[in-house]
């Protein structure tokens, strides 16, 4: 049996790292009003209370926006997730390229990409300055090891951070044959730059490619070819198939949203897929992940490969109590 462990932003959040979209948004608002660090996004209003995100949002006309994409993020997407921001980008890309949309938000694909690039750069700078604190327990290591496969394990890290690797020991790499794969790139790595965009279906994006190469600038299928991570992923799947090894998948902190459709469909529809384990945050979180996974599985007959909620384990948190240890003991006995 081989294992793929899919790691998403929920893993960093469980470590107490402020990596959600709302964390990033609050940081932008506060620091721009304090030292005008982000005037390429908007000019702060005069009211001192605007540095509070809630008041800022209530008084959007009081700000002079310099970045249209950021303005859209303020209007409709403050309480969303990163995958929703990627979806927003793709929606605006389709608007720019469609002859049926009158007065699109952006005059050209280049204008949209320029605005989006500013957001991407600021996100990278923000994440680089976060401080990781090692938890006092080893629960995250236990969760990861539960997904190890005897035939080898690929840890598919969708985060830009290296938090997950801090829970893996040298013995894990040797005994479980763990392979690292930073599928969405790394911070401060020119050879594996961060991938922030959308996994557009080929049949949908193909007509736009013919118009202008810039339509492919933030399409994940294209970006994956600029680094070796996608090749590592493909090679692992090939080995699983060649060895006729069953494949168990463990999802830790990833919503399985549409912005990562390309890779997730390859995994969830693999011919040797045995089961999908969801390490959940809460009941609603499990529900949303399960529905998203169903959307990505081609054959409804394979829905039962997703392990049920009662047979799953809850994601531990940075300040977790010993109560989780009891949940873990029950989980491994089941």
How far is it, in rounded angstroms, from Cα 24 to Cα 257? 20
pLDDT band per the 50, 70, 90 thresholds, residue 101:
confident
pLDDT band per the 50, 70, 90 thresholds, residue 62:
low
pLDDT at position 320 over 70: yes
How far is it, in rounded angstroms, from Cα 66 to Cα 75? 14
Read out DSSP for 28-61?
HHHHHHHH-TTTTTEEPPS-GGGGSHHHHHHTGG
Most confident among 67-76, 93-102, 276-285 (mean pLDDT)? 276-285
- Mean pLDDT (the chain, rounded): 92
CA angle 75, 215, 228 (to 5 degrees): 105
Q: Is 226 helix (H, G, I), strand (E, B) or coil?
A: coil
pLDDT of residue 29: 87
Considering only CA atoms, which of 248, 265, 235 is closest in space to residue 176?
Answer: 248
pLDDT of residue 249: 98
The arithmetic mean of pLDDT across residues 65-79, rounded, is 85
pLDDT band per the 50, 70, 90 thresholds, residue 51:
low
pLDDT band per the 50, 70, 90 thresholds, residue 50:
low
Q: Angle formed by the axes of helices 82-97 and 109-128, to 10°? A: 160
How far is it, in rounded angstroms, from Cα 69 to Cα 61? 16
pLDDT of residue 46: 65
Residue indicated by tokens 């970045």? 67
CA 229, chain centre distance (Å): 15
Size of the chain, expressed as the number of residues it contains: 334
Query: Does residue 100 or residue 328 have the better pLDDT?
Result: 328
Per residue in 153-188, pLDDT tens? 999 999 999 999 999 988 888 888 999 999 999 999
pLDDT at position 99 over 90: no
* Strand bridging mode 2-7 / 247-252: parallel
Residue indicated by tokens 């990033």? 24
Residue indicated by tokens 């190890």? 148
Give the range among 39-43, 128-132, 293-297 with minimum mean pLDDT. Answer: 39-43
Considering the entire predicted model, what is its pTM?
0.94
188: alpha, beta or left? (left if phi > 0; alpha if psi -120 to 50): left
Considering only CA atoms, which of 306, 294, 250, 244 is closest in space to residue 271?
Answer: 244
pLDDT of residue 53: 74
How far is it, in rounded angstroms, from Cα 125 to Cα 130? 9
Considering only CA atoms, which of 226, 221, 229, 92 is closest in space to residue 159?
Answer: 229
The percent of residues above 70 in pLDDT, for the chain, comes to: 96
Radius of gyration of the chain (CA): 21
Tokens standing for 225? 């070819």
Structural domains of the chain ordered from first start? 2-15+137-185+227-333 (3.40.50), 21-128 (no CATH)
Phi, psi of 35 (to 5 degrees): -140, 15
Q: Is 185 helix (H, G, I), strand (E, B) or coil?
A: coil
């Amino acid at each position: 049996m081989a294992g793929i462990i899919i790691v998403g932003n929920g893993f960093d959040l469980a470590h107490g790292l402020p990596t959600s979209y709302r964390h990033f948004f609050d940081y932008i608002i506060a620091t721009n009003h304090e030292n005008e660090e982000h005037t390429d996004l908007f000019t702060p209003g005069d009211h001192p209370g605007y540095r509070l995100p809630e008041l800022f949002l209530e008084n959007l006309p009081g700000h002079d926006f310099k970045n249209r994409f950021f303005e859209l993020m303020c209007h409709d997407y403050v309480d969303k997730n990163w995958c929703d921001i990627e979806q927003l980008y793709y929606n605006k890309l389709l608007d720019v390229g469609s002859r049926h949309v009158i007065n699109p938000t952006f005059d050209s694909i280049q204008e949209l990409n320029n605005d989006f690039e500013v957001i991407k750069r600021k996100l990278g700078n923000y994440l680089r300055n976060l401080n990781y604190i090692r938890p006092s327990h080893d629960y995250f290591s236990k969760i990861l090891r539960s997904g190890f496969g005897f035939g080898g394990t690929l840890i598919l890290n969708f985060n830009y951070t290296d938090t997950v690797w801090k829970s893996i020991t040298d013995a894990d790499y040797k005994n479980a044959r763990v392979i690292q794969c930073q599928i969405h790139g790394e911070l401060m790595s020119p050879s594996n730059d961060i991938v922030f965009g959308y996994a557009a279906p080929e049949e949908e994006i193909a007509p736009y490619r013919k118009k202008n190469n810039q339509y492919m600038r933030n399409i994940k299928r294209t970006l994956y070819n600029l680094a070796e991570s996608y090749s590592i992923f493909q090679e692992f799947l090939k080995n699983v198939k060649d060895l006729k090894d069953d494949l168990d998948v463990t999802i830790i902190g990833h919503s399985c949203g549409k912005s990562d459709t390309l890779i997730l469909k390859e995994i969830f529809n693999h011919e040797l897929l045995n089961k999908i384990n969801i390490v959940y945050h809460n009941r609603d979180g499990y529900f949303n992940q399960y529905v998203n996974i169903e959307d990505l599985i081609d054959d409804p007959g394979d829905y039962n490969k997703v392990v049920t909620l009662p047979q799953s384990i809850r994601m531990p948190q940075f300040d977790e109590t010993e109560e989780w240890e009891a949940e873990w003991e029950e989980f491994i006995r089941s």
